[in-house]
Amino acid sequence: MNNNKVHQINHPLLAHSLTILRAQETATAEFRRHAGIASTVMLIEATRHLGVDAKSIQTPLAATTGSQLAGRLVVVPVLRAGLAMLAAAQELLADAPVGFLGLERDETTAIAREYYQKFPGGTLSGSTVLILDPMLATGGSLADTITAVQTRGGRDVVLVCIVAAPEGIMRITTEFPDVSLFTASVDSHLDERKYIVPGLGDFGDRYFGT
């Protein structure tokens, strides 16, 4: 990965949780728990670039100056698998409004179809937009999401994925060179059904127990 917009996160907690997420025998409850851990680590790394403003506060002992996040931050999980990362985002960024884009992949063509869209009112201009999707396979769903966000004025766009395929990374970095991508793993390839190998199966099915 020579592209300076693509960041593969290395962290012992993340590697541990990713191994459990990959394992075929991991049950739904354990899958959900480690999806939350992985998402938290990823989001902490993906928000390192956020700006802060100085803030004067009073501690129980003295006055001091701390920091508070500057600017507007919007979180956009790609339905439905992106919902698995939303709880971690809301825990870390409780004040951030949430937008939604629902995309469903046709199992025959691997092309995503939009079935729902709802963004916070007004423009996204000036906002940092975190797009959450655990799996970056072909890049079709994320390309559609980025386009929808940019159409509404979003320019500082950050993708947070747990597992990514080289094919999807290539598409996103080619079509959207200014978008940053954070992932826990760059896997080997896509198979003939456009599933990530070795991957972890269908993230949404495993997370929601469907």
Active site residue 138: no
Closest CA to 115 of 156, 63, 80: 80
Q: Are strands 156-164 and 180-186 parallel, antiparallel or unpaired?
A: parallel
Whether the Cβ atoms of residue 199 and residue 187 lie closer than 8 Å to each other: yes
Active site residue 53: no
Whether the Cβ atoms of residue 135 and residue 159 lie closer than 8 Å to each other: no
* Structure tokens belonging to residue 66: 């701390």
Question: Position of tokens 């802060």?
Answer: 52
Active site residue 109: yes
* CB neighbour list of residue 48: distance below 8 Å, 6 or more residues apart: none
DSSP code of residue 118: E
Catalytic residue among 19, 64, 109, 151: 109
Active site residue 202: yes
Residue 209: count of CB within 10 angstroms of its CB: 10
Phi-psi region of 122 (alpha: psi -120 to 50; beta: other; left: phi over 0): left
By the 10 Å C-beta count (0-12 exposed, 13-18 middle, 19+ buried), 95 is classed as exposed
**Signed CA dihedral, 25, 31, 37, 39: sign only:** positive
Q: Which residues are catalytic?
A: 105, 109, 202, 205
